[in-house]
Chain A
Amino acid sequence: MLESQPTFPEVDRIIHEPARLAILTVLSACDSADFTFLQTATGLSKGNLSVQLTKLEKAGLISIDKVLFRKTTRTTASLSKLGKHQLTDYWQTLERIRKQGASKPG
């Protein structure tokens, strides 16, 4: 009879993608950040950042605001309540996986 394999908890695929995780990490450390800061901090291209922000907004993890600032549109993003909750859950899941991995014999 096969020994039952330990099941690892599922991680949220939306958050687990490195570019999106980087964006969420930045947003979790501030109230809101503009497009330029997100681009500078994460090193993503304009197009990629824009795509990832749209995906995160569609998932309800962040909210995006566009405000007119000195004749230009400033795009700012902030973490939603759901986003904060999901990100905390994500880190806790990773921690559980790490503990399971560490406690595994051999």
Chain B
Amino acid sequence: MTMDDSIRLTYLTRHYYELQGIRTAPMWLCFLAMQTHPDSVRSYGKWNDLFPSVAMCLMILFSWLAGRYYRRRFGWLNPAWISLPKSRFYWSLVMCLAIWSFFSLIFLGFLGNLPYVLTLVWISPLFNKENLPLRRIYFAVAGAVVVFSALFLQITHRDGRIIVVIQCLVLLALGIADHLLLMSLLAPAREAADA
């Protein structure tokens, strides 16, 4: 066993649940379906009333199935701790943006800052030095895509739904990237088993 193997095994074990990207995919697909479904909230048709509930039920079912797939295929573990960024800069930024967003919502009724806070929350792996450089890079790229598209939409006064669609698509892509990273971390062990 080399030092690289030791680092790989430690990283894989500590971040095993984080890397199970397919688990969250049904949630983003569900939100995406709700956003793209024409006037799902305003119409009163039978299907339109049922659509959000059906989507939610399907989301829970598929999330459960994804969790079951990971448990049966790769196994189960009891994590020692939850890995969060230790950077003070990151937490100060989250706090400042959250306060700014909260006040602009209360006093100005402006929802437009929420995507930035949400983006900062889900790109937390970027600020976590424990993470592999590759994972930090794709979270940085995803964060930049969402922030720039949100800024562009705010400037051009486009429909706010587009930003939700972009966030969902980006989070879906991140989930797939995490799943592929999990596969690549498990690849040396599979090759050893086949040999």
Contact = CB atoms under 8 A, between A and B. Distances in A.
A36 interface: yes
Contacts, number: 80
A30 B80 contact: yes
Interface residues of A, number: 26
Interface in A6-51: 18, 21-22, 25-26, 28-45
Contacts of A31: 77-80
B193 A29 contact: no
A45 B80 contact: no
Contacts of B80: 29-31
Given A30-B77, A35-B75, A40-B75, A25 B10 contact: yes
Contacts of B189: 40-43
B112 to A, nearest CB: 41
Nearest to A45: B193
Contact of A37 (B5, B75, B191): B75
Chain B residues touching A, majority SS = helix
Interface in A74-98: 74, 76, 78
30 contacts: A18-B1, A22-B1, A22-B5, A22-B9, A25-B5, A26-B9, A26-B12, A29-B10, A29-B14, A30-B16, A30-B78, A30-B79, A31-B79, A32-B77, A33-B13, A34-B76, A34-B77, A35-B75, A37-B74, A37-B76, A40-B73, A40-B75, A40-B189, A41-B9, A41-B12, A42-B9, A42-B192, A43-B190, A45-B193, A74-B76
